[in-house]
Structure 1
Amino acid sequence: MDGSLTDPRSLARAASALRCLPLRRAFYERVAVEAISSGGLCDHPERGRYWFRPLTPQRAEDHLIWLIRLGVLRREVDGQGLTERVRLTPMGRQLLGEWPGELPRAGLGERLLHGLRRRRPRL
């Protein structure tokens, strides 16, 4: 057993998403210790340290939903059910452990393929 929590294709797809999305390592480290919503992310005083380019709350929510679908994030649950806040999953922690510093940025080809996969998930 190699210690991975899921199959290699899912890990590769999620790793590619982490490199392609405009979210910095600081964002993933924050959701590893506390839940945050897309609105909270965009309103945070230090919001610039969480992404490479500015995000609107709707665009941030779109990225969070994609990361949930890939298994990197999950919605937090409270006494009333699911909330709008997200947290890092064990798979997300595993992926972050692969890079000691800032997440490496994807090249143009990988970003194009990621965009196609995001719009056509079966690719």
Structure 2
Amino acid sequence: MTAVNSSNPKAFSYSQSTIERAERSLICSPFSPALLEAMRQRSVSVSAIAQDNGIKYGYTKQPLSELACDQALDWLIQVGVLRREVDGQGITDSFRLTPLGQKLAEQYQNKNWPQPSWSDRIQNAVTRWFRLPF
């Protein structure tokens, strides 16, 4: 049996287009860098992000309904930034960062996200709404 070198913390490599799409999705999202910082430490539930709690904890730029919050979080799952938390009973309503999400959280640690340009918004919308289902 061959040994695996698990000491390399940078085991995942991402294409530049994957990183750009994930970053664009983040800056176009209704969330703030504080949410990613919290997710670096622990899982965060939808109820802590939605409604007035999102504003209270600094996770969102404006209050979001649970449905809008869940849809925005699902998009970040699809671009590879987040994953749903799983416990012994199955999938929960909490979210954590993926390795790509960790990379982006480190990149924006103690920084604000840049303001998305119209081009960023249009490209994100086209990618999000007209993506192929496979």
1:40 maps to 2:42: no
Alignment of 1:43-122 (within 5 A): 45=53, 47-48=55-56, 49-100=58-109, 101-122=111-132
CA distance in 2, matches of 1:17, 1:37: 20
TM-score (norm 1): 0.86
Give the CA RMSD over aligned residues.
Answer: 2.1
Tell me which residue corresponds to 1:13.
21
TM-score (norm 2): 0.80
Q: Which runs of 5+ in 2 are unaligned?
A: 1-9
Distance 1:106 1:76, change over 3 A: same
Q: 1:18-75: per-residue Cα shift (whole Å, max 9, x none)?
A: 1111100001111221212222312564634111222111100001100111110001
Answer with 1 or 2: which has the greater Rg.
Answer: 2
Checking the alignment, whether the CA contact within 8 Å between 2:47 and 2:53 is kept in structure 1 is: no
CA distance in 2, matches of 1:45, 1:20: 20
Question: How many corresponding residue pairs?
Answer: 121
Percent identity of paired positions between Structure 1 and Structure 2: 30
Tell me which residue corresponds to 2:38.
30
Q: Which runs of 5+ in 1 are unaligned?
A: none
Distance 1:44 1:79, change over 3 A: farther
Greater relative contact order structure (CA < 8 Å, 6+ sep): 1
Checking the alignment, whether the CA contact within 8 Å between 2:54 and 2:64 is kept in structure 1 is: no
